[in-house]
Structure formats: C-alpha cells, structure tokens
Structure 1
C-alpha cells in the first residue's frame, strides 16, 4: 500500500496518508504516526511527496504560461522545453509503476533511488521559475538568469539548464538572423535588445523626403517660418510584430542585453540592421531600369549567414566566439556592398566634392550676396511657381558670375533651389 500511495504522491503531491491542516486547506501534512508503516519509510514518503509537490508547481507554472497570451516568445520556448523535462519524469513514473506491478517486493527506497536525479533537479527548477516570476524577467533578460544555473557543478542540473537555455537561444538566434539578413526585427513583445528609436531628428540625420532629389536644396519661405522646424514629420510604421522602419533608426536597449553578449558585438548587429534599411530603401526608391542594370543580389550572402546561425542552435553550448565571427564577416561583406553602392554607383566622391564647393565657408561671400538679392523676393512670396524658382536660380547664377566663381564651382547646372512651403490651416496651395 505504501508503494501505491508513493506513486500517487509523486504525481499529485499528496496521497491517502496525508491529511488537510484545518487552518490552511492547501497545506497537506502527513499523519504523525501510521502503525503499519515503518518510521524510516515515512521519512522516504515525505521526500517523495515533496518531489510530487515540486512537479505540481512546475506543471501549474507551464499551464499558466500557455494560458497567458502576453507571455512572450522566450518564456513560451522555455515552458515548452520545461514540459518535455516533466514528460521524461512522467515516463519514469510509468516505468516504476510497471516494475511495482511485476515485483511486489520493491520498497520505497527503490523509488527514491530511481528518482535521485529529479530530487536534485526539481528544487532548482522551482527556484528558477520563482525568480523569473518574482522579478518579472522577460525576453533576453531570462537568458542571463538561466545561464547562471548552467554553471552548477552538478552534471544533471547543468545539462538540463543548458537545454532550457538552448531553447531560448533559438528565439534569440532567429531574431538576430532576421535583423542580419533583412534589417527587420520580429519582436511583438518587446523582448529583443534592439528596438525602434521613436525620437529621430531627421534634419540631424541629413535626410530629406524621398520626393526631393539628392542635389536639390530646399528653401523654406520666411512667411511660414514659425513652422519651419516642423516641416519634416517622421511617419512611424504601423504597429505590427515585424518592425521595418523607413527613415528611422534602431537603438540598443541596455536592460535587455545579455551580459555575455559584448556591447561591441551588439553595436555591430545594430550597424548591420541599419545598413540593410539603407540598401532596401535604395532598391525601393530607384526605378526598375536602374535596378535591372545595377541590381544587388543579397540572396547568396543571406543564405550563408542563415545556415551558419542555424548551426549555432544545434548545440547545447552557445558558442559566442562563432557568433562573433559570423557577425564580423557579415559586417565586412555589407560594408563592401555599401562602399560599392555609394562610391561606385552613386559617385559619392563627386557628390562630396560638389558639397565642398557649394557649402564650405570659403564661399560664404557667395551665399551672403545671394541672400541679400533674394531677401525681398522671398518675403513677398505666397506660393511656389516654376517662374519664381527659375528667377531665384538665375539670381544665384548671376552671383556666381559677379564673384567670378563659375570656373571654380563645377556642375553648377545640377545645383538648383526649390521652394518648399509648410502646410497649415490658413494656407491654400
């Protein structure tokens, strides 16, 4: 009968030899003395009952995670792996029950010895989930907590914790793969250490709206100057699990960065993600004829990176050095692609030469003269027309001729001013 009660206690945390304490209906206490059971076996039964209670605690935790729709991918992956560990425990109980039916002479000591590994493992697992729940850890934060448990000297405990950590690393690697190969972050629950920066100063980034060409300057009318600083409004993407900003930037979230991921490595991942945004924006903004001649094939490079990162998830031991190597090679390849795009295709050196020629302070007298001649004209303008823009550009050319700078500043014909008026409730354009 003691074996039967023990098997029940191992799965439910209680048995017929336990009675309810009057002031606490959830606390079960063994009867102090049972005539037909030896005192030594009662102590073993207490240990087996405690093991069953740990199992119930872990099982209830898993069920609560599955019911909560806001648990997050990392906690869900952790719960799935924890459930597989509990399943091996149930399989072990099934085997013990089969042995007890075959050999009725087995004792409680046999059950205790057969479950020695779980007597060491379950208390640590309960301690782990209590720490996760108490401190509200989520996402990449739980990686650090689980990793500390893998450093235990007990081989059984260490190997089990590594399996739990490996299950979370699969989500971690998938998110890294997404940003390394597509510049996107799948992060519905805000769990990754890279997120979207919602406070972007477009003018500080040197960007303009896509409708304005690269070599076109914009002059905002002084009649609408109060809204001049607000003429660029960053349109954030709609909230969805996959984050793909346009002219926005990513940012590091230090609180979510695991301690074993170097900050320098995180910066490289951030650089690669933002570089992909630039490349994808280039592909979307250019016409089909240009892309058919100068298309960049990213598939081969991305496929290689995906295979290398996937190989990291196949091992229980997370190889941070291999991850650093993959990211460094990806960064170098992408840097060469960016160099090819900007220097060779978009002639960056020529663009910089024109910027140096037009905007450096050495030609401040040109713009001083230009502002003086166009001051009254701009103040009286209510809306932009092609005729007015042509007049302004002609004045600029006259200033060049008067200062004898037409031979110094090359490609003047490519430089044009375009009027841009801020929209408000009182304006009709």
Structure 2
C-alpha cells in the first residue's frame, strides 16, 4: 500500500493512479475507513501532480531536467513561450519530486512507516500543487500562447501560495521574450514562426492593398510609391502591432516605439532604394555604430532582472529609439535633402510658386474643353514651367499630373459644369525619395491633393475675375460710350474680386507661409526624425483646419441659415463639410458662374439676363451675410484665431458688416 502511494505521488501508473475504478475498489475495500480517508487525501495530491506532469509531457514531448532544454525552437508546433513555461514548471516541481524520492527511501528503510506519515509528507505540497494545477488548467482552457502567457502569469504573480514559482516561470518566459525583442530591435528580424510576438508580419495582405497606417506618436507609414503603383518599400510597412499579444504591463506607446525601431532597421537593410541610395550605399550606412554592443548589454541586463522593471525597460527602449531616429534624421535631412523636398511640396502642392500655376491654368485650359489626357496636362505644365523660366528640371521630374474620376466629390467640389468637373479630375502626384516615404505617406499625399485642388480653384477663380476686368477695360476703350456692361454687373464683379483676393492673401500669407515657417523652425531645432514627423503632421493638420477643409474644434456653436446648422467638430477630412468652407465654396461657385455668364451676356443686358444678374446679386449678399455671421460667432472660440484673421482680411473697413446688416 505504501509503495502504491509513492508510485501515485511520483506520477507513475499504478492502482491508485488508474482510471479503472473497479481495481481501486478491490484494492481499498479491505482497508480501514481511516486509511481510506488518508489514501484519498494522498490521491488528490497525486492527481494534481499527474495533471501537471501530463501538461509538461504533452508540450515538450519528453521531460528532461537538463538546463540544455532549448526554447528557441519549438517542436510539434508548440510555441517558445509554452516551452519556456513547461521548462520552468518542471524546475519548480523539482522540490516535490525530491521529497517523493526521499519518502521512498524512508519506506524502503522502514517498511512499517504509518500511512499518516506519507499523507503528512504529501500534503505539505497540496496547496502548492493545487494552485499550480488550476492555473495550468486555466491557461489551457483559455488557449493562451505567445506573449499572452506573460500577461497571464503577471496576473497570478501576487498569489502568496505560489509567488516564487510563478516568478520563476515568468522569468523563464521573459528570457524568450527578450530573445525575440533583441532580434527585432537590433537586427530587424522577427523571430516568430509560431506568431507569438506582439509584432506581426501580415503575409495575408497583398502589398498593393496595404496602405495600412501605423498611427502613433511615431508617425504614419505607408507602403506604396505614388504614380507608378510600384511598391518601393514593402518590408517597412508590412508589420503592425497585434494588441491581443501585447503584454498588458507594456504601454501601447512603448510598443509603437519598438515597432518603429525594428521597422527602421528593417528598412535600412531590405528596402529597395532609389538612384540616390543604392544597396551598397545603404549597407554602408551604419545605424548603431559602436552602440550595438552597448544596447545588447542593456537588453541582457533587462533579461537578467528577477522581475520586470517597466521604468528601466521604457528607458532602454527610448535610448534605442533615439539612436535610430537621430540616424534617420541625418539620412533624411542631409542625404535625402528634406528641406528642399519640403520646399518643393510647398511650391507645388500649396501653390507657393503662384506664377507657375497661373501660367499652367492658361496653358491647360484649352485641353480641358475636351477629354484631355494626362500626357497633355503634363505637357502643358512643362510649357508653363519654361515660360516662367523654371530652372530646376529635377524638381519637375518628381511631380506629374494624373486624371481620374471620383465616385464621390470632396466637400465643395462641383460636378455640374463640364470644365469645372474636368479641373476636379486633376491630381498632382509626387515621387517620394527614400527614406522620405516615412513622412510623405499615401494619406499625407491625399490630404496635400485636397489642399492643391482647393488652392488651385481659388487661384483659377481669382485669375478669371481679373481677366474679366481686363477684357472689359479693353472692350470699353474700343466701344463708343465707354462701359460695356451696366454698373451693377461691375459692382458684383468688384465685390467678388475683393473677397477672392483677400481670401487668397489669407491662405498664402496668414496660413501656409506662417505654418510652414513654424514647421521649418521645429525641424531645424531637432535631430529626431520622430519630431520631424510630428512637426509635419501638426503642420498639415493646422493648414487643413485653417483652410477649412477639415472640421475644427472652433465649430462648436450653431449658426443657422435656415437650411443646415453648423455641425459639431470632427477630426476627419471628408465625413462632414466645414461650414466656413461651404460658404466659401458657394462664393467661388458664384464667381465661376458670373465669369461664364459675362462671356455670353449681351450689352446692354436683356430682361432675362437682368433677372439672372439680380439673382446672382441676391446670392452674393446672402452668402456674404452668413459668412460674416459665422466668422463673428466662431472667432471667440478657443481655436478661432485664424477665423479672426480671415475676418480682418475680408472686413477690415467694416464695409461688409454695414452693408449686410443694412440689407
């Protein structure tokens, strides 16, 4: 009976550990009831140990107490974390196994030991084994694996009964975690064939469709080079955070830094660069320099800590990230000519070179009266560049126009006139230089195109109004009696011209130029590429808001014009129309309509044309009145400084305020 009890406690097959209840009944039916109680208590301890032993056997295929048990490669599809768990579990059960061996020796030396002694020796481990067994059962029931095991163990760490055991198991699992982390951070290699790490490689998504953005304080990244649909930087963008695997004690902000660091290392090692950065050049660009050994040592120190220290962990991650971002800043600024590229983005997308696009409008307009091709539009742009004596041919190579159709118009875009619709089909694309694809992502370039379309429209309307005035003066000089059109036509034209001219000045001087200088100063005063990304993101967000292409936090009030109230603030670019932009769009549309009508109106105006003019004049008064009301109401909001500036530009002498209030 004593030997059967020891066999059961050791996890070996026997009568007490058998699932055959009939054999057990035959074995214990002649025992005293007190002995049956003692055996039952021994059996419960043995059952807990046997369950743990089966878990270990199932996951590592063979129990081996040697320290050479390797967790770096998992057999039979078992993950490294479960293997580390099993190895540590085997180790923490060693005192129990030694106690069973010691008990067996006692029984061999004294065959008359009472069963109560065996029960006493076994029950010293009862609570320990029972808590461990319940923990392992829960782990299996929840189907946890990979980094999920770390969070699971962390939750059980405060348990006083098994705190040391759980701490040892967690330490062993952290050893494997740091192997994966070191491989990713220092070499850009994801050592994760069983998908256990919190950073994952998305092999299931096609590269062309993976315009996936990793948005964080580390910036946004995209995959596709615009214009030719070729994937230039596939390795960088195909990784993301799997939050279901992220240990709960590691903040998301730190996880994003880890993701960014490994992606950058991977990018420098595997990216397909442009002509300026050949593969041989990039291999010679050393990110770590002499710091690789230093960071390796720091990661080893973190691994050797008995418990996970978040402060030390975050400090080390920040140091590694800072080294990477500083190196990336030097490459982007010095080798990829970041400041020159930002200036080009301003010159082209933001119409910083107004004379170039004024000439482009003149050259491309004849092509847009029919179905123009992208080649014709680009040829018109090349001609415009030559006429304004544009000297930087390399800059022109980076930009080209494409024509496309939209199923849904952007806020303020019109689809009712053939020429206007044709203008809306034009998009400007930019060939991104490596590694500036981290800064100028697909989403960023899409927002730049929104700005480009709006600014080009304002520029075009302004040019058309001035051209109409010039044509009128020429005709007036050749016409007996002077004026070609009635005074009321020119009064409307003058009012619209005044508004558009001041809107143009506000956009270019008060918004774009001032915000660009702020961004430029921030970048110049930093040697951290992440801060470059942040500065650029703030720059684009501000100009989108201040050019009224995005709902800003200033629009909290409600000003009704009888048709629609001002919508609450929103951070997206397209979901809701900014109400200031809506009114400006109506004024631009009115200007476009007036220019078209003046091309075909007779002199003097007939009755039908007078009615049309009167309707336009009423629309102008209505739009201006509501715009003034809107600006007055919203300028006092916390973020309404730019609205006050626009109001000052449009109504500096209070003429609109007085005229609209009296009407």
User: Same fold per TM (> 0.5)?
Assistant: yes
In structure 2, the residue matched to 1:314 is 304
Encode CA deviations 1:184-237: one digit per residue, 9 max, x unaligned: 21221222212134352289956655xxxxxxx95xxxxxxxxxxxx626599x
Between the aligned partners of 1:284 and 1:355, the Cα distance in structure 2 is: 21
Q: Hey, what's the Cα distance between the residues in 2 that align with 1:232 and 1:34?
A: 84
> d(CA) in 2 for partners of 1:105 and 1:312?
53
Partner of 1:400: 385
Which of residues 353, 358, 370 is equivalent to 1:365? 358
Match of 2:263 in 1: 274
Q: TM-score, normalised by structure 1?
A: 0.73
Q: Relative to 1, partners in 2 of residues 1:266 and 1:29: Cα closer, same or farther, differing over 3 Å?
A: farther
Counterpart-to-counterpart distance in 1, 2:139 and 2:280: 55
Q: Which whole-Å CA distance do the structure 2 matches of 1:30 and 1:351 have between them? A: 89
C-alpha separation between the residues in 1 aligned to 2:395 and 2:232?
30
Which has the larger displacement, 49-58 or 279-288? 279-288
Work out which of the residue numbers 30, 42, 52 in structure 2 matches 1:48: 42
Query: Where does residue 256 of structure 1 map in the other structure?
Result: 245
| 1:163 corresponds to which of 148, 160, 168 | 168
The question of 1:21 aligning with 2:21 is answered yes
Structure 2 unmatched ranges of 5 or more: 62-74, 214-219, 403-663
Displacement of 1:327: 0.4
- Distance in 2, matches of 1:420 and 1:202, equals 24
CA distance in 2, matches of 1:107, 1:7: 13
Change in 2 beyond 3 A, CA 1:272/1:17: closer
Q: Does 1:180 align with 2:185?
A: yes
Deviations 1:27-83 (A, max 9, x none): x56866545x5x544433222222222222112222222357222221122122222
2:210 is the counterpart of 1:200: yes
Is 1:140 aligned with 2:139?
no
In the other structure, the counterpart of 1:100 is 107
Deviations 1:398-419 (A, max 9, x none): 31243x3x3xx66334432799
Equivalent in the alignment of 1:70: 77
Measure, in 1, the Cα distance between the counterparts of 2:81 and 2:290.
30
Q: 2:221 and 2:34 mapped to 1: Cα distance?
A: 75
Q: CA deviation at 1:360?
A: 1.9
Structure 2 counterparts to residues 338-353 of structure 1, below 5 A: 338-353=328-343
Give the CA deviation at 1:349.
Answer: 0.7
> Which residue number corresponds to residue 10 of structure 2?
11
How far has the Cα of 1:346 moved from its partner?
2.1
User: 1:227: which partner in 2?
Assistant: none
1:265-313 deviation digits (Å, cap 9, x = unpaired) = 1121122122223333469663377458x63252533322222222222
Distance 2:196 2:222 in 1: 30
CA-to-aligned-CA distance 1:145-179 (integer Å, 9 cap, x gap): 2222221122xx11111111112112222222122
Q: C-alpha separation between the residues in 2 aligned to 1:373 and 1:247?
A: 43
Does 1:415 find its partner at 2:415? no
Distance 1:371 1:98, change over 3 A: farther
Cα shift readout 1:90-121 (whole Å, capped 9, x = no counterpart): 33222222233334454334434444452122
Give the secondary structure class of the aligned counterpart of 1:317: coil
User: Greater relative contact order (Cα 8 A, min sep 6): structure 1 or 2?
Assistant: 1
Once residues 177 and 292 of structure 2 are traced to their aligned partners in structure 1, the CA distance between those partners, rounded to angstroms, is 17
TM-score (norm 2): 0.49
Seen in structure 2, the aligned counterparts of structure 1 residues 345 and 6 have a Cα distance that, compared at 3 Å, is same
- Structure 2 Cα separation of the partners of residues 149 and 380 of structure 1: 64
The structure with the largest alpha-carbon Rg is 2
Deviations 1:311-337 (A, max 9, x none): 222233122221111101111111111
> Could you say if the C-alpha distance between residues 100 and 326 of structure 1 is closer, same or farther in structure 2, counting changes exceeding 3 Å?
same
Partner of 2:469: none
Contact 1:202 1:234 in 2 (8 A): no
Cα distance between partner residues in 1 of 2:130 and 2:92: 14
For structure 1, the residue ranges without an aligned partner over 5 or more in a row are 210-216, 219-230, 237-244, 382-387, 422-429
Q: Secondary structure at the match of 1:246?
A: helix
Change in Cα spacing, 1:183 to 1:136, as seen in structure 2 (3 Å) is: same
Q: How has the CA–CA distance of structure 1 residues 272 and 30 changed in structure 2, closer, same or farther, with 3 Å as cutoff? A: farther
CA separation in 2, counterparts of 1:137 and 1:5?
36
CA-based RMSD: 3.7
